[in-house]
Amino acid sequence: MKNIKSIIILLIAGWLSTNCQTDLLETIPNDRISKEIFWQTISDAEFAANAVYPSLDGLGIFAYDGITDLLMTNHPFNANVNIQRGFGTVATGRFFSEWEDSYQGIRRANDFMDNIDRVQYDNASDINRLRGEVMTIRAYHYIKLAMLYGDVPLITTDIDIEGGRNITRTPVSEVWDFVEAELEQAAAWLPYHNNGRIGKGAALGLKARAMLFSGRFSQAAEAAKRVIDDGEHTLYPDYYGLFQYQGQNNSEILLDRQRARDVNAHNIYAILAPWSQIPGSTGSLYVPTQKMIDMYEMINGKSIDDPDSGFDPFNPYENRDPRLAHSVFLTGRTPLPDGGTYGSTPNTDGSDAVQITVYSTATGYNVRKYVANQDYNNPSNSGLNIILLRYAEVLLTYAEAKTELGEIDQSVYDAINAVRERPSVEMPPINMEDGHSQEELRQIIRKERTVELAFEGHRLFDIRRWRIGEEEMPGMPLGMTYVENGELKQVELQGFERSFNSNRDYLWPIPQQERDLNPNLVQNQGW
């Protein structure tokens, strides 16, 4: 009986205790920052905006070019090789990771936008600036998703698990509508120069890119022209230095993924540098093809296949567009970080002779952009920022959009020539007086864009919007030409054939993992 009474007394005491503390079960979690205590100050808002920035692309931009005709994935066991050869499936990891990464970034942005109104502030411009930054990043992800997958779910607020299981794909035209409006509003809120943060130039430049990609040429030209006319961004004079430490945060950069040694480093050097320059590592993950090299004109502005160009196949790197040597390691010419000279000629004892190891270049070339001598001793600790949008692209976007509209005037030529005549490049101008047709100028701009923005993640998207995949992608990649016993020979990647199915490959498939969770996500044609 004593035990029973004791139990009853304890139960009553416990009941009284809990009824006196009506909020006992409404405690604030101590393992994370709760909304109840976080979204209060402008500092909270800035921390939240900062958390969205890491979702921007970094080293992944090289993989976009690495599955095209101008740059190839060099390691035969890398998963991207299956995409190059047309063997990708709905279960391919790359198709899923791009989808997942973008929607994770969008979810972070949506969480910010859903909660920013909780913050108490004195100056609305401070809050709107942060809104503009996050909206720009969200639009960046939707541009990429639209180009990779076409119709995609347009999610602008937080959704629960059940909502995720029932959402459907939004027509891509509506995605472009959203991106256009989102970036226009962001541009209205953002200042131009923003101490490494996203500014007005990024919003307008991305709007120009998005409208060009979607075929809305009038809006593309208008957005690009605003950046040009505002005069806040200029071309950096040193094309090589643009991708080195000395060019960090210069006035040409509209958007980049900011990095820092020892704090937020990456291994771009270890990925791109020649094999000989990566002690104990691999290198040469992505290497240029001969097709890319051949696109660089002679210094006189003529294509190498022009009989009057002066091109000498026995000295193929002489008198070429300076951007070639700035962008690519060329055998016998380019200094290496260790002080030697790049040597890739097959069947020699050169530093990086073709296929001297499974990791050495298979084409005889290596990417020079972003390979900094300062990173030689610690190749996985690079602090170089990865450029995602720069002023040269805006100029070429303006020229292309105006050309597609048939509004070809001197401003179009001025935009092209500003890029060609950059100090350290100084290629001959394209003259309006020569009377180029619309088609001729279209091809000039496309070539200029490919050369200027080489290895910066644009080629995959350009192939898709120009609808040239079936013409440019299939076939065996070719490597360098070289002289052996007085004869000209060429590196061929025997047994490696790129493939492109025009009925399927202009879009990636909706990842199977997503369709397993949500069958409402109808699959793209051919997959």
Cα 412 to Cα 401: distance, rounded to the nearest angstrom: 9
What pLDDT was estimated at residue 21? 46
Cα 338 to Cα 374: distance, rounded to the nearest angstrom: 10
Helix axes 124-149, 459-466, angle to 10 degrees: 60
The range of the structural domain enclosing residue 328 comes to 265-380
pLDDT tens for 102-118 read: 999 999 999 999 999 99
What pLDDT was estimated at residue 315? 97
Q: Where are the alpha helices (DSSP H) in 150-216?
A: 161-166, 172-189, 200-213
What pLDDT was estimated at residue 89? 96
Sign of the CA dihedral with 106 first, then 111, 112, and 113 last: positive
When mean pLDDT is compared over 27-31, 206-210, 354-358, 490-494, the highest value belongs to 206-210
Mean per-residue pLDDT over the chain, rounded: 92
The answer to whether residue 210 is domain-embedded is no
What pLDDT was estimated at residue 351? 93
Q: Can you list the pairs that 88-91 forms with residues at least 24 positions away whose Cβ atoms lie under 8 Å?
A: 88/508, 88/509, 89/509, 89/512, 89/527, 90/509, 90/510, 90/511, 90/512, 90/515, 90/523, 90/527, 91/511, 91/512, 91/513
Distance (Å) of CA 178 to CA 131, 133, 138, 169, 181? 15, 16, 10, 14, 5
The answer to whether residue 298 is domain-embedded is yes
For the residues 36-53, what does the mean pLDDT come to? 92
The answer to whether residue 300 is domain-embedded is yes
C-alpha count within 13 angstroms, C-beta hemisphere, residue 3 = 0
pLDDT tens for 138-158 read: 999 999 999 999 999 999 999
Write out the E strands in 347-410: 366-367, 386-390
The answer to whether 320 touches 297, Cβ cutoff 8 Å, is yes
pLDDT tens for 423-432 read: 999 999 999 9
What pLDDT was estimated at residue 293? 98
Query: SS3 letters for 100-132?
Result: HHHHHHHHHHHHHHHHHHHCCCCCHHHHHHHHH
Overall domain count for the chain: 1
The answer to whether 377 touches 385, Cβ cutoff 8 Å, is no
pLDDT tens for 63-105 read: 999 999 999 999 888 888 999 999 999 999 999 999 999 999 9
The answer to whether residue 221 is domain-embedded is no
The answer to whether residue 427 is domain-embedded is no
Nearest to 56 by CA among 119, 152, 141: 141
The answer to whether residue 236 is domain-embedded is no
Cα 516 to Cα 527: distance, rounded to the nearest angstrom: 15
Confidence of residue 22 (pLDDT cuts 50, 70, 90): very low
- pTM exceeding the 0.85 threshold for the entire prediction: yes
Distance (Å) of CA 244 to CA 239, 269, 389? 9, 11, 16
Task: Report the range of poorest mean pLDDT among 23-37, 222-236, 256-270, 364-378.
Answer: 23-37
The answer to whether residue 247 is domain-embedded is no
Nearest to 482 by CA among 348, 370, 391: 348
The answer to whether residue 61 is domain-embedded is no
What pLDDT was estimated at residue 32? 54
**CA angle, residues 288, 292, 296, in degrees to nearest 5:** 130
What pLDDT was estimated at residue 119? 94
The answer to whether 269 touches 372, Cβ cutoff 8 Å, is yes
Distance (Å) of CA 312 to CA 54, 294, 304, 317? 46, 12, 9, 8
At residue 252, the 3 state secondary structure works out as: coil
For the residues 321-334, what does the mean pLDDT come to? 98
The answer to whether 223 touches 207, Cβ cutoff 8 Å, is yes
Cα 212 to Cα 218: distance, rounded to the nearest angstrom: 9
**Residue 515 CA from chain centroid, whole number:** 26
% the chain with pLDDT above 90: 87
Q: Tell me the two tokens of residue 14.
A: 């416990």
**What would the DSSP string read from start to end of 23-77?**
TTT-PPPSSS--HHHHTTSHHHHHHHHHTTGGGS--THHHHHHTBSSSEEE--TT
For the residues 486-498, what does the mean pLDDT come to? 93
Nearest to 170 by CA among 155, 184, 148, 180: 155
**CA angle, residues 148, 149, 152, in degrees to nearest 5:** 130
The answer to whether 234 touches 172, Cβ cutoff 8 Å, is no
Confidence of residue 7 (pLDDT cuts 50, 70, 90): very low
pLDDT tens for 118-136 read: 999 888 999 999 999 999 9
